[in-house]
């Protein structure tokens, strides 16, 4: 049914299946939602969950075995957390510390190699893997459900970065000119500066004084 790639995420194979998925969602998803905001987090969760369900369907179109659970979206959450906080540690079985980037890489590799032998397994590794891949594409390609708004945001970010780069280049040029003037003062003295050089040095000194006097 057309709605099943959505509704399958809210069905689980038993208490522990549900409990583990919701524990991981709480453990890793809470901070992502805090950083992204509720709406963007929900979009990401649904895109990775629905997307991984559709991919699983396409690769097992004739399978009589149903796929249920939020694991596709959960693996998307793990991927996002790994990209955002790669140097943090998680404790496997609450005992063994592992950096998040290695943890996510290991579970991704397990999902990848296990997806080649999903037949007869009670775990849909294809769903896990596709959740991570779709999550990676969503983040790296700046996908949005409101596509045009997302494109506008991307364009605005590029314009802002370009302005920052231009401002930094102007600052570098100004610093180089100030250094040249200071070298000239060391060689021949302040009185040998022309009026433009004296004016530039005065403005630089005034700007520095204003910055130092700003309240913290």
pLDDT at 146 over 50: no
Does 1.20.1540.10 match the CATH number of domain 4-145?
yes
Rounded CA separation 211/216 (Å)? 10
Domain ranges of the chain: 4-145, 150-213
pLDDT in tens, 85-103: 888 888 877 778 888 888 8
Rounded CA separation 216/209 (Å)? 14
Rounded CA separation 186/200 (Å)? 17
Closest CA to 80 of 113, 53, 43: 43
Confidence at residue 148, expressed as pLDDT on a 0 to 100 scale: 42
pLDDT in tens, 12-22: 888 888 898 89
Continuous H helices in 85-146:
100-114, 125-140
pLDDT at 147 over 50: no
Mean pLDDT is lowest, of 29-33, 64-68, 117-121, 179-183, for 117-121
pLDDT at 152 over 60: no
Confidence at residue 26, expressed as pLDDT on a 0 to 100 scale: 92
pLDDT category at 169 given cuts 50, 70, 90 is confident
Confidence at residue 105, expressed as pLDDT on a 0 to 100 scale: 85
Round the average pLDDT of the chain to a whole number and report it.
Answer: 79
Confidence at residue 45, expressed as pLDDT on a 0 to 100 scale: 92
Task: Using a pLDDT cut of 90, give the percent of the chain over it.
Answer: 6
Contact present, 169 and 177 (Cβ < 8 Å): no
pLDDT in tens, 33-55: 888 888 889 989 999 998 888 88
């Amino acid at each position: 049914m057309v709605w099943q790639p959505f509704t399958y995420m809210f069905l689980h194979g038993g208490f522990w299946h549900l409990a583990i998925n919701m524990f991981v969602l709480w453990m890793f998803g809470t901070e992502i939602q805090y950083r992204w905001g509720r709406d963007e987090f929900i979009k990401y969760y649904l895109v990775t969950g629905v997307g991984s369900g559709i991919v699983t369907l396409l690769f097992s179109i004739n399978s009589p075995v149903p796929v249920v659970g939020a694991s596709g979206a959960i693996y998307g959450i793990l991927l996002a957390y790994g990209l955002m906080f790669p140097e943090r540690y998680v404790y496997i079985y609450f005992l063994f510390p592992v950096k998040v980037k290695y943890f996510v890489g290991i579970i991704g590799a397990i999902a990848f190699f296990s997806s080649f032998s999903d037949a007869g397994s009670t775990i849909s590794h294809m769903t896990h893997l596709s959740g991570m891949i779709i999550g990676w594409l969503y983040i790296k390609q700046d996908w949005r459900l409101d596509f045009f708004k997302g494109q506008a945001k991307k364009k605005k970010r590029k314009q802002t970065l370009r302005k920052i780069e231009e401002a930094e280049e102007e600052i570098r040029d100004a610093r180089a000119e100030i250094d040249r003037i200071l070298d000239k003062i060391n060689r021949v003295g302040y009185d040998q500066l022309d009026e433009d050089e004296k004016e530039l040095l005065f403005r630089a000194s005034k700007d520095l004084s204003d910055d130092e006097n700003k309240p913290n």
